[in-house]
Structure 1
Amino acid sequence: MSHPTFTTPCLTTFCGLDELGLEAVGQRLDPDRAVIECRVVEPDRWCRECGCEGAPRDTVIRRLAHEPFGHRPTTLLIRVRRYKCCGCGRVWRQDTTAAAPVRAKISRGGLAWGLAGLVLDHLSVTRVAAGLGVSWSAANDAILAEGRRRLIDDPARFEGVTTIGVDEHVWRHTRHGDTYVTVIIDLTPVRDKTGPARLLDMVAGRSKAVFKTWLAARPKPWREGIEVVAMDGFTGFKTAAAEELPDAAPVMDPFHVIRLAGDALENCRRRVQHDVFGRRGMKGDPLYQARRTLLTGAGLLTDKQQARLDALFAEDRHVEVEATWGIYQDMITAYRDKDRGLGRFFLAHTIDKISASVPEQLVEIRKLARTLTQRASDVLGYFDRPGTSNGPTEAINGRLEHLRGTALGFRNLSHYIARSLLEAGGFRPALHPRS
């Protein structure tokens, strides 16, 4: 007795051919692929010119790569009937656009499978092409065109954006130098706690002009709807945002603020190391041994690390490193405070303290003070707008690093931008192409 939830086996339903307007009439297993013979369900025997009924003339074969089942690629062998009009003599063939676009080599089911593999399973185009049994260029062109149609060219993906993040990264390393792109991230879902951040767009270059040009190309109502722009310490992004988004509040995220303080601490350590020993740090030098411990938050230090710092700061010649380390730890403590108002007060107090009176010997702190004073409103703006940080932007940059590794690098910027938008643009095709 068959189980009541099961039905009679049907190759047409199993392979999703019914949604393509096809019906399976035969099958063959070759060593390198599975071949399914199909026919078009809709007769389509009426002339579109005069309306007369057409007489069957002959049959042509159309082959389409389909989603694989198992380890073999699947090919649809479609027998398409041609008709000749009894009235006007016009000749036409059955419509197969439900199965695949005109002159396409991959079925719509195969395109959906390849797109899901690229986005959800993070497969390479080479692996997708092997699964479909087509060339790399055929798979890449067809899937990217489908991705542009379903996501990249969809104007709705810019709707509802109120918070953006901007950053840059290297997309290609060459012997002539690194090539940069500017990435714009939609941080609205993170701020509203409705979902993860997503890649909004990507443009070649990294400068004020690049970001300003991109903002100027957006519709005015869209620009007026932007409330917050999260960014790093690059002043070009801040200036571009101020000119094109005058009502938006700039926010410098904690990652880059702490990084500025960490760079000041590292530069101070190297300078003192050279002043004391006349050379760069070596394995047995106390300052060199403590280089990672110095960058660890005070609340995370182990007993061994704390003892190492106590011994380091016990020497008077390391007093400048100790002073810079104290400022670094004050800034970390301010950001880690659970009370955002109290954290804001502590960080503002720290900025005022290092801006008021710092000995001339502490050149790194004085430089840090100038930067933080100029960007004080941006730095403290983080505490006034919960959930606004460029941290998700760095996370997406990490995902794009993984994408470049999977693809073994990119040479074509247009392909890289399209693949990046599919990878991190919030596009989520159905887990199964037919669901």
Structure 2
Amino acid sequence: MDNDTTLLLDLDGLAVARVERLEDGTRRVHLITADEQARACPECGVFATRVKGSATTRPRDLPYGESGLEFRWHKRRWWCREPGCPRRSFTEQIPQLPAGPRITMRLRGAAGRRIRDAASTVLQAARDLHLSWPTVMDAFRAAAHEVTQAPPQVKVLGIDETRRGRPRWEQDPATGKWMLTRDRWHTGFVDALGAGGLLGQVEGRTVADVLAWLATTPLAWRNSIEYVAIDMSTTYRAAVRTGLPHATVVVDHFHVAQLATKMLSTVRRRTTAEMRGRRGRASDPEWKARRRLLRNREDLTDEQFATMWNALLGEGRIGQRLLTAWIAKENLRNLLARAHTGADRHQVGDARRKFLTWCADSDIPEVRQLAVTVDRWWPEIEAFIDTGHGNAKSEAVNRVIKLVARNAFGFRNADNQRLRTHCVTTRRARGHLRTAQL
């Protein structure tokens, strides 16, 4: 029975002396030291021969079974026989149970891995393993150490921001106006092409914040980056031009198309307010067609398209404005679609001229502003059309970051939040690394 229990415990250096069952069904296991190395002084390494006394500790281990196990380790205290050793006496210890800690190293490691690899919250892991919150958090920091090492080599770097918490508004007692007093953001750096996941995070979204994180990476790592995928942020573009001057900035097509759909919604709301003198109603044709206006032409059946087109055309000036803005949106989408069709530069140029000409001939200010914005960002948009690199993985990582914050009911400590999200968003990368090592 003792041998079976020893194998079951799998604690090298300990032997089972006896097992007793308590009234509540818990099994109390009495352990003794079976490793001769436990007699070595932790300071000088000399083996002790003189016993000073005995001590009994109650180490905690992984939960086992429904009734559980309760340990009693009966160990000895030794005198160090080395005259020059500053450590006069010491108690026995083994690698799984060093002197001082009251839990085994495998219990501490399991607690850290639950958060690092299983995406568990600290509180839930503490409840499952019957540990305190600080103990589990310290175990997680130790387990997460290997994740926070130097980032892997990447070819395409994705940069995007995500809001940390909710913005806070306060009312000025003098003027009665509401002012934004707190709006915190995190900037994330993602492997936009490979499986590296989230490479790092920094609080803030200014040029200085991005450059500060890039300064912490090796020069050879920065030189290996060929493309940087961002949204249409002038701040990130300026930071990339300063910190990574050799890299090509790429604007993801999703954000360009999103800009066109926002333009179309703005035109619809402004036109309704100007010509009807009120907000849109469910009985208005432009309100009924609002969802079809935002859909892609290829996603509409001929019947749906004809219904939308004829209804707006029959509304006169209101419908003509909306259809003009809708055609501008579709021309821009056709231009971006050249990245997936393998079109040459002549075809891309023709699609660009068609879009800009249509916008220039329009008398709608939002449509013209869309053309100005696209023209200013054209080098970055053209880089997307040529390469097809996008910021989709950055958006996917942002979704996971928000999910982690929601599961934790928010974070008070920004460092803990960045560490948690870093571990959760790199599980796939660590899985690929272990597979490659095998």
Coarse TM-score class (shorter-chain normalised): 0.7 to 0.9
The 8 Å contact of residues 72 and 131 in structure 1, kept in 2 or not, is answered as no
Which runs of structure 2 are paired with 1:222-371 in the superposition (5 Å)?
222-302=221-301, 305-315=304-314, 316-317=316-317, 318-336=319-337, 339-342=340-343, 348-356=349-357, 358-359=360-361, 361-371=363-373
Kindly provide the amino acid, as one letter, of the partner of residue 75 in structure 2. Answer: V
Q: Secondary structure at the match of 1:66?
A: coil
2:169 equivalent to 1:172: no
Kindly provide the amino acid, as one letter, of the partner of residue 209 in structure 1. Answer: A
Cα drift, residue 132 of structure 1: 1.5
Cα drift, residue 246 of structure 1: 1.1
- Residues in 2 aligned to 1:275 and 1:35: alpha-carbon distance in whole angstroms: 81
Which runs of structure 2 are paired with 1:136-151 in the superposition (5 Å)?
136-147=133-144, 149-151=145-147
Residue of structure 2 in register with 1:3 after alignment: none
Cα drift, residue 355 of structure 1: 3.1
Kindly provide the amino acid, as one letter, of the partner of residue 201 in structure 1. Answer: G
Residue of structure 1 in register with 2:426 after alignment: 425
Residue of structure 2 in register with 1:133 after alignment: 130
Cα drift, residue 45 of structure 1: 2.2
CA pair 75-303 structure 1, distance change in 2 beyond 3 A: farther
Once the two structures are overlaid, the 10-residue window that deviates more, 201-210 or 289-298, is 289-298
Q: Secondary structure at the match of 1:59?
A: strand
Cα drift, residue 126 of structure 1: 1.1
CA pair 209-352 structure 1, distance change in 2 beyond 3 A: farther
Cα drift, residue 22 of structure 1: 4.0
CA pair 393-57 structure 1, distance change in 2 beyond 3 A: same
- Residues in 1 aligned to 2:92 and 2:101: alpha-carbon distance in whole angstroms: 16
2:415 equivalent to 1:414: yes
- Residues in 2 aligned to 1:277 and 1:363: alpha-carbon distance in whole angstroms: 19
Cα drift, residue 301 of structure 1: 2.2
Cα-to-partner distance string for 1:136-163 (whole Å, 9 max, x where unaligned): 222122212321x2221x23xx232222
Q: Number of aligned pairs?
A: 411
Cα-to-partner distance string for 1:103-144 (whole Å, 9 max, x where unaligned): 444432223322332244322211100111111222122212
Residue of structure 2 in register with 1:187 after alignment: 192
2:62 equivalent to 1:67: yes
2:90 equivalent to 1:95: no
CA pair 236-85 structure 1, distance change in 2 beyond 3 A: closer
CA pair 222-339 structure 1, distance change in 2 beyond 3 A: closer
Once the two structures are overlaid, the 10-residue window that deviates more, 258-267 or 312-321, is 312-321
- Residues in 1 aligned to 2:96 and 2:166: alpha-carbon distance in whole angstroms: 41
The 8 Å contact of residues 397 and 425 in structure 2, kept in 1 or not, is answered as yes
2:17 equivalent to 1:17: no
Q: Secondary structure at the match of 1:164?
A: strand
- Residues in 1 aligned to 2:398 and 2:344: alpha-carbon distance in whole angstroms: 28
Kindly provide the amino acid, as one letter, of the partner of residue 224 in structure 2. Answer: G
- Residues in 2 aligned to 1:411 and 1:146: alpha-carbon distance in whole angstroms: 21
Cα drift, residue 27 of structure 1: 6.6
Residue of structure 2 in register with 1:199 after alignment: 198
The 8 Å contact of residues 335 and 352 in structure 2, kept in 1 or not, is answered as no
Q: Secondary structure at the match of 2:142?
A: helix
Q: Secondary structure at the match of 1:115?
A: helix
The 8 Å contact of residues 37 and 78 in structure 1, kept in 2 or not, is answered as yes
CA pair 126-305 structure 1, distance change in 2 beyond 3 A: farther
Which runs of no fewer than 5 residues in structure 1 stay unpaired?
1-7, 190-195
Kindly provide the amino acid, as one letter, of the partner of residue 91 in structure 1. Answer: S
2:100 equivalent to 1:117: no
The 8 Å contact of residues 351 and 372 in structure 1, kept in 2 or not, is answered as no
The 8 Å contact of residues 348 and 380 in structure 1, kept in 2 or not, is answered as no
The 8 Å contact of residues 339 and 387 in structure 2, kept in 1 or not, is answered as no
Cα-to-partner distance string for 1:5-49 (whole Å, 9 max, x where unaligned): xxx98344444434xx44455475786977654444422324564
CA pair 365-174 structure 1, distance change in 2 beyond 3 A: closer
CA pair 277-139 structure 1, distance change in 2 beyond 3 A: same
- Residues in 2 aligned to 1:285 and 1:211: alpha-carbon distance in whole angstroms: 47
Q: TM-score, normalised by structure 1?
A: 0.83
Q: What is the aligned-residue identity percentage?
A: 26
Kindly provide the amino acid, as one letter, of the partner of residue 171 in structure 1. Answer: R
Q: Secondary structure at the match of 2:406?
A: helix
Structure with max Cα Rg? 2
CA pair 305-343 structure 1, distance change in 2 beyond 3 A: farther
- Residues in 2 aligned to 1:343 and 1:184: alpha-carbon distance in whole angstroms: 32
Cα drift, residue 373 of structure 1: 1.0
Residue of structure 1 in register with 2:173 after alignment: none
Residue of structure 2 in register with 1:375 after alignment: 377
Q: Secondary structure at the match of 2:254?
A: helix
Cα drift, residue 213 of structure 1: 2.2
The 8 Å contact of residues 169 and 180 in structure 1, kept in 2 or not, is answered as yes
Once the two structures are overlaid, the 10-residue window that deviates more, 107-116 or 175-184, is 107-116
The 8 Å contact of residues 73 and 132 in structure 1, kept in 2 or not, is answered as no
CA pair 145-31 structure 1, distance change in 2 beyond 3 A: farther
CA pair 377-90 structure 1, distance change in 2 beyond 3 A: same
Which runs of no fewer than 5 residues in structure 2 stay unpaired?
169-180
- Residues in 1 aligned to 2:143 and 2:377: alpha-carbon distance in whole angstroms: 43
Q: Secondary structure at the match of 2:157?
A: strand
- Residues in 2 aligned to 1:323 and 1:228: alpha-carbon distance in whole angstroms: 35
The 8 Å contact of residues 151 and 422 in structure 1, kept in 2 or not, is answered as yes
The 8 Å contact of residues 181 and 205 in structure 1, kept in 2 or not, is answered as yes
CA pair 417-77 structure 1, distance change in 2 beyond 3 A: farther
- Residues in 1 aligned to 2:326 and 2:253: alpha-carbon distance in whole angstroms: 17
The 8 Å contact of residues 227 and 249 in structure 1, kept in 2 or not, is answered as yes
Q: Secondary structure at the match of 1:173?
A: coil
Cα drift, residue 198 of structure 1: 0.6
2:403 equivalent to 1:402: yes
Once the two structures are overlaid, the 10-residue window that deviates more, 394-403 or 332-341, is 332-341
The 8 Å contact of residues 162 and 227 in structure 1, kept in 2 or not, is answered as yes
The 8 Å contact of residues 111 and 139 in structure 2, kept in 1 or not, is answered as no
- Residues in 1 aligned to 2:246 and 2:330: alpha-carbon distance in whole angstroms: 33
CA pair 93-182 structure 1, distance change in 2 beyond 3 A: same
Cα-to-partner distance string for 1:357-406 (whole Å, 9 max, x where unaligned): 613522112111111111111112123224x2111100010011110111
The 8 Å contact of residues 17 and 24 in structure 1, kept in 2 or not, is answered as no
